[in-house]
């Protein structure tokens, strides 16, 4: 089982060093580590080649995290792909435990783990709605993103089957990906907290984009148009879509965005039939 690790990054040299050290200190090292620099203007172009000579450094113009992950997927040689956001960190036995679990359960093509959350330097407990699960979890993926990119280990064949990350989505690209995968594949889940997710810093994408539900709406519309869903999953996705349209409508009405109000009222009428 060969593993390629893909780390997308943009202007996070200080955080990237922590992420890379957590990869290179794994008890079962990966076969390949790919850093995709999405046009950084800080010390990243110097940091990786000078301090992490065993990493493959790929640089591209700034095109967003989806394009960076996709660039890594395109050059990865591993049978299995692991992702790590440059502000997160793996615990030392993360890969070892996932690979052992997948060896014992070869029917799975995706595995994720529990996680520890750090916000502004302090540990916080996730809310119940963020609880992780395994198995056929499509319905659990509908309200919000319940799989962290930094925790997954995915067989490369899944991307050939279902496509890569949607580069048209500035945020919620992971939500879109998990919907597509979990509509067709069961997920292996390890209950141990094997990654540390850091949040609260100013450059987080979720803090820079207003109205994130509109991108979840895009993902839901896409899965309803093109996904091979069971009748039960289709009904659940449609219900969630209407609920998210309602939430977004409330926001655009408050902001007086008349054109968007009309557009999303049409969407609601279409999916409420």
Predicted local distance difference test score (pLDDT) of residue 123: 86
Tokens 């040689």 map to which residue? 77
pLDDT at 8: 97
How many residues in total does the chain contain? 273
Q: What is the pLDDT along the chain (273 residues), one digit of tens a residue?
A: 999 999 999 999 989 999 999 999 999 999 999 999 999 999 999 999 999 999 999 999 999 999 999 999 999 999 999 999 999 999 999 999 999 999 999 999 999 999 998 887 888 887 788 889 999 999 999 999 899 999 999 999 999 999 999 999 999 999 999 999 999 999 999 999 999 999 765 555 555 566 789 999 999 999 999 878 999 999 999 999 999 999 999 998 988 889 989 999 999 999 987
If one counts every other C-beta atom within 10 angstroms of the C-beta of residue 201, the result is 12
Q: In whole angstroms, what is the distance from residue 215 CA to residue 212 CA?
A: 6
Question: 257: Cβ–Cβ under 8 A, 6 or more apart, which residues?
Answer: none
Report the C-alpha gap between 254 and 245 in whole angstroms.
14
* Joined tokens for residue 271: 């999916």
Cα(187)–Cα(207) distance, rounded to whole angstroms?
A: 29
* Alpha-helix residue ranges (DSSP H) falling in 52-133: 65-75, 94-104
Burial of 224 (0-12, 13-18, 19+ CB in 10 A): middle
Give the per-residue pLDDT at 109. Answer: 97
pTM: 0.92
CATH architecture of 3-202: Alpha-Beta Complex (3.90)
Domain ranges of the chain: 3-202, 213-271
Start-to-end CA distance of the chain, whole Å, equals: 48
* Residues 201/213, Cβ–Cβ less than 8 Å: no
CB contact at 8 A, 268 and 234: no
pLDDT of residue 104: 96
Mode of pairing for the β-strands spanning 56-59 and 32-37:
parallel
E strands in 105-163? 110-119, 122-124, 153-155
Measured between alpha carbons, how far is 155 from 76 in angstroms, rounded to an integer? 12
């939500």: which residue's tokens?
Answer: 175
What gap in Å lies between CA 110 and CA 241, rounded to an integer? 25
- Residue 131 backbone dihedrals phi, psi, to 5 degrees: -60, 140
Cβ count within 10 A of residue 157: 11
What was the pLDDT predicted at 151? Answer: 97
| Distance, CA of 193 to CA of 9 (rounded, Å) | 23
pLDDT for res 203: 56
């Amino acid at each position: 089982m060969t593993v390629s690790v893909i780390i997308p990054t943009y202007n996070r040299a200080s955080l990237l060093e922590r992420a890379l050290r957590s990869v290179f200190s794994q008890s079962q090292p990966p076969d390949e580590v790919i850093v995709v620099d999405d046009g950084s203007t800080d010390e990243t172009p110097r940091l990786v080649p000078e301090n992490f000579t065993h990493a493959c450094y790929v640089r591209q113009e700034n095109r967003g995290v989806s394009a960076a992950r996709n660039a890594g997927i395109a050059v990865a040689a591993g049978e299995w792909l692991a992702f790590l956001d440059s502000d997160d960190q793996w615990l030392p036995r993360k890969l070892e435990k996932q690979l052992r679990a997948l060896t014992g359960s070869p029917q799975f093509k995706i595995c994720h783990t529990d996680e520890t959350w750090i916000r502004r330097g302090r540990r916080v407990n996730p809310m119940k709605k963020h609880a992780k699960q395994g198995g056929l979890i499509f319905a659990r993926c509908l309200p919000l993103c319940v799989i962290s990119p930094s925790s997954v280990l995915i067989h490369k064949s899944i991307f050939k089957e279902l496509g890569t990350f949607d580069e048209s989505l500035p945020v919620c690209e992971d939500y879109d990906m998990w919907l597509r995968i979990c509509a067709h594949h069961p997920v292996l889940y390890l209950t141990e907290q094997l990654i540390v997710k850091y949040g609260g810093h100013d450059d987080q994408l979720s803090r820079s984009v207003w109205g994130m539900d509109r991108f979840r709406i895009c993902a839901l519309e896409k899965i309803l148009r093109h996904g091979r869903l069971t009748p039960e999953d289709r009904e659940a996705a449609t219900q969630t879509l209407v609920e998210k349209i309602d939430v977004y409508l409330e926001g655009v009405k408050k902001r007086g965005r008349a054109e968007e109000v009309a557009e999303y009222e049409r969407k609601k009428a279409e999916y409420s039939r």
